[in-house]
Every structure is written in structure tokens, then in C-alpha cells.
């Protein structure tokens, strides 16, 4: 029988990959680190974006987002996109950036990228869940160790 314990600390045991979610609209581009993302069905991806995010406005305005999967060794990219606001710094500086179908920026030299068009938006309090249909995808790296976010560490 499983033991019933206090739930404090158990969130640290949920493991997520670290991804960069990006968007572009009218010449502006932005991106944030997102751990709370997953594939839903064969051709869709769900991302969870809080009210603090500047990128969220560009996702809503463009109706699209890009998602690039990070690998172990790319913690610095996770920090750049996860600890600063796009309005304050150019997070893409020094990175190889390209676009596919929607115009959302995508990052080279990463295990996988997905270009998505938003099909559904759900409000969960002040957080928004965007579901996007994958309209293009690809990979630059064949072998990699995933970058895992667990609690506050990755």
C-alpha cells in the first residue's frame, strides 16, 4: 500500500524538459523558457504561459509560436530566456536564428524545433494554455542528453 505523505516538496519530483517558446509580430520578436509544455496528440503542442510574459502578447498577436527543445549544456540559453524580459534585452543576440512557416523565430543547434499555429487558447486563472498545430518541424542534432527541469534546478 502506498504511504500517504505531506505533499510539500513532491513538485520537485515532476520532471520537464526545458524549451524556448518564441513569437514575432510586426518586426518585434520575443521568447521565454518554458518547462510546462507537452505534445497533445500527433500534431499539436501545448504550452503554458503566465501573465508575466512579454512573449505572450506576441503569441496572441501573431497567432503562432515556435518551440525549440534545449539539450544538456544549453543551460545558459535557458537562463537568458527564463530570467529576463524580452522588452529589456535582445535574448537572441549571439544565437543562430531562423524561421520556417509562421515567422516565429527558431534556434539552430538544438535537438528539435516545432513551428506552430495557435488553434486553441484556454484560460487557467491568469495563466494561458496555448495549443498549436505543428506546421513544420525539424532537428539539427542527432544525439543529445535532454535538459531536464526539476523543481528550480536544471
Ligand X SMILES: Cc1cc2nc3c(=O)[nH]c(=O)nc-3n(C[C@H](O)[C@H](O)[C@H](O)COP(=O)(O)O)c2cc1C
**Residue in 116, 100, 106 with CA at minimum distance from that of residue 44:** 116
Strands 28-34 and 19-25: antiparallel
Q: Looking at 113, 114, 130, 149, which residue binds ligand X (CB under 6 A)?
A: 149
* Shortest distance in whole angstroms from residue 3 CB to ligand X: 30
Instruction: For residue 126, give Cα distances in angstroms to 79, 90, 122.
Output: 23, 26, 10
Lookup result for grid cell 549571439? 94
> Which residue, 3 or 13, is less far from ligand X as judged by CB?
13
* Shortest distance in whole angstroms from residue 95 CB to ligand X: 14
> Which residue, 85 or 120, is less far from ligand X as judged by CB?
85
> Which residue, 26 or 142, is less far from ligand X as judged by CB?
26
Which 1-60 positions form the footprint of ligand X (CB under 6 A)? 18, 30, 32-36, 48-50, 52-55
- Whole-angstrom distance, CA of residue 70 vs CA of residue 112: 8
Say how far residue 123 (Cα) sits from the centre of its chain.
Answer: 18
Query: What dihedral do alpha carbons 123, 125, 126, 127 form, nearest 10°?
Result: -60
- SS3 of residue 119 by DSSP: strand
> Which residue, 1 or 103, is less far from ligand X as judged by CB?
103
* Interaction of residue 132 with ligand X, rule CB under 6 A: no
Cell of 38: 507537452
Q: Looking at 17, 82, 111, 132, which residue binds ligand X (CB under 6 A)?
A: 82
> Which residue, 25 or 84, is less far from ligand X as judged by CB?
84
- Whole-angstrom distance, CA of residue 73 vs CA of residue 116: 25
Q: Looking at 86, 92, 107, 118, which residue binds ligand X (CB under 6 A)?
A: 86
The residue ranges that bind ligand X (CB under 6 A) are 18, 30, 32-36, 48-50, 52-55, 78, 81-86, 149, 154
Amino acid at each position: 500500500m502506498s504511504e500517504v505523505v505531506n505533499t510539500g516538496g513532491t513538485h520537485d519530483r515532476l520532471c520537464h524538459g526545458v524549451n524556448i517558446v518564441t513569437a514575432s509580430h510586426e518586426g518585434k520578436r520575443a521568447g521565454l523558457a518554458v518547462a510546462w509544455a507537452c505534445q497533445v496528440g500527433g500534431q499539436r503542442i501545448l504550452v503554458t504561459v503566465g501573465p508575466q510574459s512579454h512573449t505572450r502578447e506576441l503569441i496572441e498577436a501573431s497567432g503562432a509560436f515556435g518551440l525549440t527543445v534545449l539539450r544538456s549544456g544549453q543551460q545558459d540559453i535557458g537562463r537568458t530566456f527564463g530570467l529576463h524580459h524580452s522588452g529589456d534585452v535582445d535574448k537572441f543576440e549571439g544565437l543562430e536564428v531562423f524561421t520556417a512557416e509562421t515567422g516565429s523565430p527558431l534556434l539552430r543547434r538544438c535537438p528539435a524545433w516545432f513551428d506552430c499555429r495557435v488553434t486553441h487558447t484556454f484560460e487557467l486563472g491568469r495563466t494561458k494554455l496555448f495549443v498549436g498545430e505543428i506546421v513544420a518541424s525539424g532537428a539539427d542534432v542527432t544525439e543529445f542528453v535532454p535538459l531536464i527541469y526539476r523543481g528550480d534546478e536544471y
